[in-house]
Structure 1
């Protein structure tokens, strides 16, 4: 049996978010799907088969009321954080910082093991990047 995972990431602007998730983090576009006024982009990593990241806007595939509620949470920066792991945090941190992403935390060693850092993506989502969990 195979089990795969799709992680949904809500963003305000899909094209702007590609600059962060594709260009800065190095994820690959697997699908760019449009249906009427809705659009979503599926990304994946080269070493993570079965793991996909789906970027969509708050109202994509949702009722107006649900989309409005999700938009409010996104605007507040209150959605759950996204955590990526890398085998080279220094290089990844420098590449993401050079992209213009807002740096929330420079890499630091945590007492429980990993070295981690934090950014905000263009929509305000907190994105942590760690090495050595």
Structure 2
């Protein structure tokens, strides 16, 4: 029997906005986009990583009650969610490609800890780190 993490989710304020960002700007592809009433299961996947999906979910029913959903939306708006990490071969080149696609960076590439990293946020405020693989 094999096991492993298949989907990890992030909260987004608007799934259509998040979908456009992750597909059009970051180059991810849609794996699942399924609706069940007001609930939408939306997952994307990095083009070079076939075994892992990122869920783009909105806080609310059926998972959260109204008060919890509102608290999560407030945290998201403040950028309080932990950052996600995108591993790349060349941080500076990736930043230039993403900048050309319209991604706004919160941290320019910097050398530290024996590698290069940079930071940006998605339209919902989720933080991302781009970290260059050590050679």
Q: TM-score, normalised by structure 1?
A: 0.88
1:98 paired residue number: 100
> Structure 1: which 5+ residue stretches go unaligned?
none
1:5 paired residue number: 6
Structure 1, residues 49-71: CA drift from partner, whole Å, max 9, x if none?
A: 32110001122532112211111
2:21 paired residue number: 20
Q: Is the 8 A contact 2:87 2:130 kept in 1?
A: yes
Q: Which residues of 2 match residues 1-133 of structure 1 at below 5 A? A: 1-60=2-61, 61-110=63-112, 112-133=113-134
* Structure 1 residue matching 2:82: 3-state secondary structure: coil
Q: Is the 8 A contact 2:25 2:102 kept in 1?
A: no
Quick one: distance in 1 between partners of 2:27 and 2:110? 22
List 4+ stretches of structure 1 deviating above 3 A. Answer: none
RMSD: 1.7
Q: Would you say how many aligned residue pairs link Structure 1 and Structure 2? A: 132
Quick one: distance in 2 between partners of 1:105 and 1:66? 31
Q: TM-score, normalised by structure 2?
A: 0.87
Structure 1, residues 30-67: CA drift from partner, whole Å, max 9, x if none?
A: 00111111213111123323211000112253211221
Quick one: distance in 2 between partners of 1:68 and 1:8? 17
* Structure 1 residue matching 2:47: 3-state secondary structure: coil
Give how far 1:132 is off.
Answer: 1.3
* Structure 2 residue matching 1:54: 3-state secondary structure: strand
